[in-house]
């Protein structure tokens, strides 16, 4: 079980969090033309990365904040955790 | 039966307390402090089971977790406990155990024919033989193999034992209470660190209990006792025996199973059987010691052949002789320690040492005791079937290739020592890159990935002096980094006998013309010849060899077999062991019962049960409950002898005719506040929200980005910047996370806050043509007329002294209102409604009637919004705004979503107006078509229409809108039913929706 440092609450066990996928995905802006390809890529296409991965987690049983976690998907090492509005 | 093999004095057992027990139906006696194994050996019982593949007789090989053979099935409190090691099971009054792997019994085992058919059971036998003909596998081969193999039978009854889970955090977790564990724990505890010291056995002290050493002015055993009692008295230390740390997971999370009452005759009420500890440790010290390695020779699996360390342990701890004519076969000095113990207890051993000219303090002592020592000697083969009767021994040449002077000597046990293997399982699990140490022919931990340190013999250090020194130092150093305190402890002086070098020899060659089976893996019946065959057949990777031959698998996890297996592969391949590498060690290190893993989360305890504030009223009024997510909801209220069908029909009818009341507390509720709330809702829902006036509710549908309907519900504008959203019971938590996701990550510029208020409000839906009259009486001061409180209107009122919110919304399709009060007032509200509604024939209705009402009205719910449908499928086109953008809108223009024959919700009525259509049935054109019959869709929900008094279902079918009026078939292969049906509009009752607006 991972140990994740919530930037708001501190170090907590994984079972307090829920996983939210790739944090680098940007939703296309509202009311803007989006090609079929771009939209499909946004909705469906995700890299199954081995190694460093910036991902979203929600501290669901804690402060309920969505946070960013930079984690190695192979070794599970967590390099850093960030608030939703912070960039790596 | 009397105990013939117990020495008169000595050992750590309590000789004042005699204990009776049964093994394979026969009654024996032992003492308190015995294990099942030690008590059986004391009684001369060495035959305890049959082997996995060849069903060869099995005895005892070890004395603890190292035991590969003696696996028994326990009978305890009328519960079956399979897969228990007799060497670990402590004796208690009335214990009952039996052998596994033998049928019909241990003395006469039919499967033993496999032994004589041995040449038909080579490596990979199962893969090769039973694969043809293919159809035979499931029907013929597998059931037979399953019956003949396996380590006991699991109970098919519900396990009544209680298991617990516990979470713990500590500075240092120390696994094993031998010298390294005790010294490091003591040093760390002195520095104020929070320490957990876990010992797998019942007694603390590890090797100190059986070795002849002096620490300070005490014996090893006395020193261990002193340290343990000191540790136990310290508030910052948790000391646990019978506790096996079996798994090392990510981020220094370890799991330990504590056998809380496995050693007790009967579980007292509220004493768990086992407790699983999840421990997050800042540092881990692995002090798991080492396990003696077997030597490989002919028939080395015969009962009576065992590790010399085990023989010593039975003698020193349990006062039990494993034999009276022992042969000790060793390649190092450890065998001599065992021989000396035999001699001290009046038994004359013969020592065979593979070394030519060994010399050390211990050997000197053995010689002084006149022990018969034969150098450059080996055991060629054990003789005897169910027990060792003699051994063929021989002189071995200096190059260890040739045998000479083969002779047979009488003996009743063979104690083997092939040097020591550090127990590196936990270190390896942690990700440690282990390395091969040539000096000890074994792997030891090397580069850590996590915060772990291995000490003592687990790290390949076999002298007590160095073990204590390094362990005191490491315990102090690691704890100081955490606590910033240092209380130096002085390292005691140690007196121990120096050992000489061991011999790297481990496998006795076969004498000419002989083909003895020489076993490597005792649990899985893997012999030298099996590995040779696997390599001849081209298997190279050690991971493949393992799977093909089963070497190092199952509960034994290669504890005794691993290194000899690797040695053999290296020898054949002409490689060195480190090149071959070892297989991956995986948790658990030793078996853990499924019950312990599940813990208390069984049945109703697998998730919390939520009850509405009106729950006890429902209970008192004969409600039959149903699980709705985590909630318990009344399914129907039973009157007299009614069944579900009759009761729900009565309740639904009463709503249509008079008035009913339904507990809707479980609906998800989300409070939304902030100046940008309207804009936010406008983006979240598919329909327009900017112009919703204060005091009005609106129905809304929200999508996922892929266009699939996520949830639906009503949201009411309470005041300018305050909204009250409702969600379905099932999706409440997901919707909240969804909203938070968009507010925190996608549109952080929106000034909106959301919070769950599901548990803050109790809700009652009052529905039916007479509901307005009930409402008027509940709120006499309010104008609840159709003009005063129109459809989708909202009002606040005072319900006999408590604040209430009134929403004119309807799920049943009737004129209806939802009244919410603070949860604490829920029951009060409910009783008032029942009291006031009496004159209007009000009746409570449950989820079954609720479903009936919504299905015949064609209102879609969870069974249609099933995560596979878009708004158009559910005829919600009118709610999809063409003008504005919203979550998931872009997906709705996908080709498949706008296809003209896209699936749609329709109504289904059986032609005979009698036969109910099972939910999940397929809709097909031709009931007699060839299989697979192309399906048009499926029946999502079924009810008995109370309006028309015939069955009615909803279905989602291809080209639904053009199917109205068609005669098709509903087929349920599960229920073996084919029902001719007609497709009708999903809005079966009141298609224009006049009632809700009346
Ligand atoms: Zn947090």
Q: Where are the domains of chain A?
A: 3-24+42-83
CB pairs under 8 A between A and B: 52
A83 CA to middle of ligand 1, Å?
10
- Any chain A CB within 8 A of the CB of B601? no
Residue B427 · residue B406 · CB < 8 Å = no
CA atoms within 13 A on the CB side of B414: 33
Residue B113 · residue B39 · CB < 8 Å = no
Token pair recorded at residue B88: 């670990």
CA-closest candidate to residue B180, choices B159, B199, B164: B199
What would the pLDDT profile of B404-449 be if each residue is shown by its tens digit? 999 999 999 999 999 999 999 999 999 999 999 999 999 999 999 9
Residue B705 to residue A42, Cβ atoms within 8 A? yes
For B163-290+422-495, the fitting CATH number among 3.50.50.60, 3.60.20.10, 3.40.470.10, 3.30.465.10 is 3.50.50.60
Residue B822 · residue B625 · CB < 8 Å = no
CA distance B744 to chain A (A): 7
**For residue A27, what is the nearest residue in chain B, using CA coordinates?**
B746
Which of B250, B740, B746 has the CB atom closest to A2's CB atom? B250
Helix (H/G/I), strand (E/B), else coil: B851: helix
What's the average model confidence in pLDDT over B491-513?
94
* Higher-scoring residue by pLDDT: B122, B990: B990
Strand partners, B239: B197
User: Could you count the other beta carbons within 10 Å of the beta carbon of residue A45?
Assistant: 11
What would the pLDDT profile of B792-847 be if each residue is shown by its tens digit? 999 999 999 999 999 999 999 999 999 999 999 999 999 999 999 999 999 999 99
ipTM over 0.90 threshold: yes
pLDDT at residue B128, as a whole number: 56
Tokens 């983006």, located at residue: B683
- Any chain A CB within 8 A of the CB of B944? no
Residue B741 to residue A58, Cβ atoms within 8 A? yes
CA-closest candidate to residue B452, choices B631, B789, B184: B184
* Contacting residues for B364 by C-beta, under 8 A, at least 6 apart: none
**HEC profile of B72-86:** EEEEECCEEEEEEEC
CA-closest candidate to residue A46, choices A62, A30, A25: A25
User: Could you count the other beta carbons within 10 Å of the beta carbon of residue B721?
Assistant: 16
Range in B522-526, B668-672, B938-942, B977-981 with the lowest mean pLDDT? B522-526
pLDDT at residue B145, as a whole number: 53
Token pair recorded at residue B903: 């699936």
Residue B461 has pLDDT above 60, yes or no: yes
Residue B694 has pLDDT above 70, yes or no: yes
pLDDT at residue B1, as a whole number: 45
Are both B14-125 and B163-290+422-495 of the same fold? no
B106 CA to middle of ligand 1, Å?
59
What would the pLDDT profile of B216-227 be if each residue is shown by its tens digit? 999 999 999 999
Strands, E, within B104-226: which ranges? 163-175, 195-198, 214-215, 218-219
In B, which residues are within 8 Å of A60 by CB distance?
737
What's the average model confidence in pLDDT over B592-612?
90
User: Could you count the other beta carbons within 10 Å of the beta carbon of residue B142?
Assistant: 13
In A, which residues are within 8 Å of B280 by CB distance?
3, 13
Q: In angstroms, rounded to a whole number, what is the distance separating the alpha carbons of residues B146 and B153?
A: 10
- Any chain B CB within 8 A of the CB of A46? no
What's the average model confidence in pLDDT over B843-857?
97
- Any chain A CB within 8 A of the CB of B156? no
Helix (H/G/I), strand (E/B), else coil: B325: coil
What would the pLDDT profile of B731-754 be if each residue is shown by its tens digit? 999 999 999 999 999 999 999 999
What backbone phi and psi angles, to 5 degrees, belong to B327? -115, 130
In B, which residues are within 8 Å of A44 by CB distance?
706
End-to-end distance of chain A based on CA atoms, in angstroms? Answer: 24
Percentage of chain B exceeding pLDDT 90: 79
Residue B384 has pLDDT above 90, yes or no: yes
Residue B151 has pLDDT above 60, yes or no: no
CA distance B104 to chain A (A): 45
Query: What architecture does CATH give domain A3-24+42-83?
Result: 2-Layer Sandwich (3.30)
The C-alpha angle B320, B323, B329, rounded to 5 degrees, equals 115
- Any chain B CB within 8 A of the CB of A39? yes
- Any chain B CB within 8 A of the CB of A85? yes
What would the pLDDT profile of A16-25 be if each residue is shown by its tens digit? 999 999 999 9
Residue B140 has pLDDT above 70, yes or no: no
Tokens 């073990």, located at residue: B467
Order the strands of the B79-85 sheet from edge to edge. B26-32, B14-23, B95-99, B71-76, B79-85
Residue A3 to residue B741, Cβ atoms within 8 A? no
Residue B141 has pLDDT above 70, yes or no: no
Query: What architecture does CATH give domain B14-125?
Result: Roll (3.10)
CA distance A68 to chain B (A): 10
Residue B319 has pLDDT above 50, yes or no: yes
CA distance A53 to chain B (A): 17
Helix (H/G/I), strand (E/B), else coil: B580: helix
Handedness of CA B93, B94, B95, B98 (dihedral sign): positive
Q: In angstroms, rounded to a whole number, what is the distance separating the alpha carbons of residues B196 and B172?
A: 6
Tokens 């362990």, located at residue: B471
Token pair recorded at residue B129: 């033989």
Query: What architecture does CATH give domain B668-845?
Result: 2-Layer Sandwich (3.30)
Class of domain B895-997: mainly beta
In A, which residues are within 8 Å of B169 by CB distance?
none
Handedness of CA B195, B196, B201, B203 (dihedral sign): positive
CA atoms within 13 A on the CB side of B717: 20
- Grade residue B513 by pLDDT with cuts at 50, 70 and 90: very high
Residue B253 to residue A3, Cβ atoms within 8 A? yes
* Higher-scoring residue by pLDDT: B660, B98: B660
In A, which residues are within 8 Å of B885 by CB distance?
30-31
- Grade residue B105 by pLDDT with cuts at 50, 70 and 90: low
Strand partners, B4: none
Q: In angstroms, rounded to a whole number, what is the distance separating the alpha carbons of residues B845 and B831?
A: 14
- Any chain B CB within 8 A of the CB of A66? yes
CA-closest candidate to residue B686, choices B887, B478, B387: B887
pLDDT at residue B104, as a whole number: 52
Q: In angstroms, rounded to a whole number, what is the distance separating the alpha carbons of residues B414 and B395?
A: 17
- Grade residue B134 by pLDDT with cuts at 50, 70 and 90: low
Q: In angstroms, rounded to a whole number, what is the distance separating the alpha carbons of residues B939 and B957?
A: 8
Which of A20, A39, A75 has the CB atom closest to B890's CB atom? A39
Q: In angstroms, rounded to a whole number, what is the distance separating the alpha carbons of residues B669 and B759?
A: 8
Residue B99 has pLDDT above 60, yes or no: yes
Residue B745 to residue A34, Cβ atoms within 8 A? no
Best of B433, B733, B890 to mutate (most A CBs within 10 Å, chain A): B890
- Grade residue B545 by pLDDT with cuts at 50, 70 and 90: confident
Token pair recorded at residue B911: 């032609």
What would the pLDDT profile of B277-312 be if each residue is shown by its tens digit? 999 999 999 999 999 999 999 999 999 999 999 999
Q: In angstroms, rounded to a whole number, what is the distance separating the alpha carbons of residues B820 and B640?
A: 31
- Any chain A CB within 8 A of the CB of B278? yes
In A, which residues are within 8 Å of B249 by CB distance?
1
In A, which residues are within 8 Å of B706 by CB distance?
43-44
Q: Where are the domains of chain B?
A: 14-125, 163-290+422-495, 294-418, 668-845, 895-997
- Any chain B CB within 8 A of the CB of A81? no
**For residue B748, what is the nearest residue in chain A, using CA coordinates?**
A85
B592 CA to middle of ligand 1, Å?
33
Which of A28, A34, A58 has the CB atom closest to B737's CB atom? A58
**For residue A38, what is the nearest residue in chain B, using CA coordinates?**
B890
Percentage of chain B exceeding pLDDT 70: 94
Task: Quickly name the fold that domain B294-418 has.
Answer: FAD/NAD(P)-binding domain (3.50.50)
Q: What's the mean pLDDT when you consider all of chain B?
A: 92
Measured between alpha carbons, how far is residue B244 from residues B176, B247, B805, B824 in Å?
Answer: 9, 9, 57, 47
What would the pLDDT profile of A40-83 be if each residue is shown by its tens digit? 999 999 999 999 999 999 999 999 999 999 999 999 999 999 99
Best of A34, A37, A76 to mutate (most B CBs within 10 Å, chain B): A76
Task: Please identify every residue whose CB atom is under 5 Å from ligand 1, which is an ion.
Answer: A 6, 8-9, 59, 62-63
In B, which residues are within 8 Å of A13 by CB distance?
167, 253, 280
């Amino acid at each position: 079980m991972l140990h994740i440092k919530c930037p708001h609450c501190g170090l907590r066990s994984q079972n307090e969090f829920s996983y939210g996928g790739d944090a680098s995905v940007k939703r296309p802006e509202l009311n803007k033309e989006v090609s079929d390809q771009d939209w499909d890529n946004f909705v469906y296409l995700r890299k199954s990365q081995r190694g460093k991965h910036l991902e979203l987690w929600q501290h669901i049983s804690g402060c309920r904040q969505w946070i960013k976690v930079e984690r190695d998907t192979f070794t599970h090492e967590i390099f850093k955790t960030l608030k939703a509005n912070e960039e790596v | 039966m009397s105990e013939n093999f117990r020495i008169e004095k000595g050992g750590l057992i309590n000789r004042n307390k005699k204990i009776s027990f049964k093994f394979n139906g026969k009654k024996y006696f032992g003492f308190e402090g015995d294990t099942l194994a030690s008590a059986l050996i004391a009684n001369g019982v060495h035959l305890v089971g049959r082997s996995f593949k060849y069903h060869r007789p099995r005895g005892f090989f070890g004395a603890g977790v190292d035991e590969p053979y003696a696996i028994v099935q326990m009978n305890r409190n009328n519960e079956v406990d399979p897969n228990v090691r007799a060497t670990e099971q402590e004796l208690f009054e009335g214990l009952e155990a039996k052998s596994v792997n033998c049928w019909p019994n241990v003395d006469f085992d039919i499967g033993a024919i496999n032994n004589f058919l041995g040449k038909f059971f080579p490596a990979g036998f199962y893969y090769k033989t039973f694969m043809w003909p293919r159809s035979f596998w499931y029907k013929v081969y597998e059931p037979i193999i399953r019956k003949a193999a396996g380590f006991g039978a699991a109970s098919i009854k519900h396990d009544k034992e209680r298991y617990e889970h516990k979470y713990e955090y500590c500075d240092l977790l120390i696994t094993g209470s031998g010298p390294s564990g005790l010294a490091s724990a003591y040093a760390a505890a002195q520095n104020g660190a929070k320490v957990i010291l876990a010992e797998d056995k019942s007694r603390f002290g590890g090797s100190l209990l059986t070795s002849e050493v002096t620490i300070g002015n005490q014996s090893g055993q006395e020193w261990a006792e002193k340290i343990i009692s000191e540790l136990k008295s310290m508030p910052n230390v948790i000391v646990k025996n019978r506790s096996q740390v079996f798994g090392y997971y990510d981020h220094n999370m370890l799991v330990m199973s504590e056998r809380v009452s496995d050693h007790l005759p009967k579980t007292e009420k509220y004493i768990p059987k086992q407790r699983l500890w999840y421990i997050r440790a800042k540092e881990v010290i692995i002090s798991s010691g080492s396990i003696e390695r077997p030597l490989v020779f002919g028939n080395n699996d015969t009962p009576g052949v065992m590790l010399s360390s085990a023989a010593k342990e039975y003698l020193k701890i349990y006062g039990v002789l494993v034999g009276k004519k022992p042969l000790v076969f060793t390649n190092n000095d450890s065998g001599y320690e065992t021989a000396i113990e035999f001699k001290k207890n009046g038994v004359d051993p013969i020592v065979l040492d593979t070394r030519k000219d060994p010399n050390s303090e211990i050997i000197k002592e053995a010689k002084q005791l006149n022990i018969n020592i034969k150098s450059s000697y080996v055991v060629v083969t054990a003789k005897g079937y169910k027990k060792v009767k003699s051994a063929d021994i021989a002189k071995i040449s200096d190059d260890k290739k040739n045998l000479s002077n083969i002779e047979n000597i009488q003996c009743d046990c063979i104690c083997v020592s092939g040097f020591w293997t550090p127990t590196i399982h936990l270190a390896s699990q942690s990700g440690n890159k282990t390395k091969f140490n040539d000096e000890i022919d074994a792997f030891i931990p090397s580069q850590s990935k996590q915060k772990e340190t291995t000490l003592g013999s687990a790290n390949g250090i076999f002298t007590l002096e160095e073990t204590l020194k390094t362990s005191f130092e490491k315990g102090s150093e690691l704890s100081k980094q955490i606590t910033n305190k240092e209380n130096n402890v002085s390292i005691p002086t140690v007196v121990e006998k120096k050992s000489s070098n061991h011999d790297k020899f481990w496998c006795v060659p076969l004498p000419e013309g002989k083909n003895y089976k020489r076993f490597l893996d005792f649990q899985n019946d893997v012999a030298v010849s099996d590995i040779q065959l696997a390599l001849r057949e081209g298997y190279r990777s050690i991971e493949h060899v393992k799977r093909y031959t089963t070497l190092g698998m199952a509960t034994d996890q290669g504890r005794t077999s691993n290194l000899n297996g690797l040695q053999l592969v290296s020898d054949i391949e002409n490689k060195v062991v480190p090149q071959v590498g070892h297989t991956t060690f995986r948790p658990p290190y030793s078996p853990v019962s499924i019950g312990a893993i599940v813990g208390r989360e069984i049945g109703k305890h697998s998730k919390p049960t939520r009850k509405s504030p009106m729950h006890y009223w429902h209970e008192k009024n004969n409600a039959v409950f149903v699980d709705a997510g985590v909630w318990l909801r009344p399914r129907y209220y039973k009157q007299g002898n009614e069944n579900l069908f009759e009761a729900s029909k009565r309740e639904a009818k009463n709503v249509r005719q008079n008035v009913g009341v339904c507990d809707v507390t479980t609906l998800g509720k989300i409070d939304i506040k902030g100046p940008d709330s309207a804009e936010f809702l406008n983006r979240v829902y598919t329909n327009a929200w900017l112009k919703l006036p204060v005091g009005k509710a609106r129905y809304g549908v929200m999508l996922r980005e892929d266009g699939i309907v996520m949830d639906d519900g009503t949201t009411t504008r309470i005041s300018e910047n305050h909204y009250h959203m409702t969600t379905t019971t099932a999706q409440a938590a997901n919707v909240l996370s969804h909203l938070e996701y968009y507010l925190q990550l996608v549109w952080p510029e929106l000034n909106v806050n959301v919070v769950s208020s599901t548990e803050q409000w109790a809700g009652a839906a009052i529905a039916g043509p007479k509901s307005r009259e009930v409402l008027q009486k509940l709120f006499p001061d309010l104008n609840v007329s159709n003009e005063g409180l129109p459809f989708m209107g909202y009002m606040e009122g005072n319900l006999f002294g408590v604040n209430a919110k009134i929403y004119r919304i309807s799920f049943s399709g009737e004129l209806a209102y939802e009244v919410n009060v603070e949860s604490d007032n829920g029951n009060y509200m409910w009783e008032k409604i029942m009291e006031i509604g009496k004159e209007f024939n009000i009746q409570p209705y449950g989820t079954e009637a609720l479903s009936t009402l919504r299905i015949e009205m064609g209102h879609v719910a969870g069974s249609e919004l099933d995560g596979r449908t878009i708004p158009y499928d559910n005829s919600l086109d009118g709610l999809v705004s063409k003008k504005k953008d919203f979550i998931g809108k872009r997906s709705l223009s996908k080709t498949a979503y706008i296809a003209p024959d896209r699936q749609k919700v329709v109504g289904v009525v059986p032609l005979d107006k009698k036969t109910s259509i099972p939910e999940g049935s397929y809709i097909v054109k031709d009931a007699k078509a060839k299989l697979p019959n192309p399906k048009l869709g499926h029946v999502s929900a079924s009810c008995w229409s109370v309006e028309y008094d015939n069955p009615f279902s909803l279905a989602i079918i291809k080209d639904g809108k053009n199917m109205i009026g068609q005669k098709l078939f509903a087929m349920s292969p599960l229920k073996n039913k084919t029902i001719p049906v007609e497709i009708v509009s999903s809005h079966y009752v009141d298609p224009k929706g006049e009632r809700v607006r009346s």
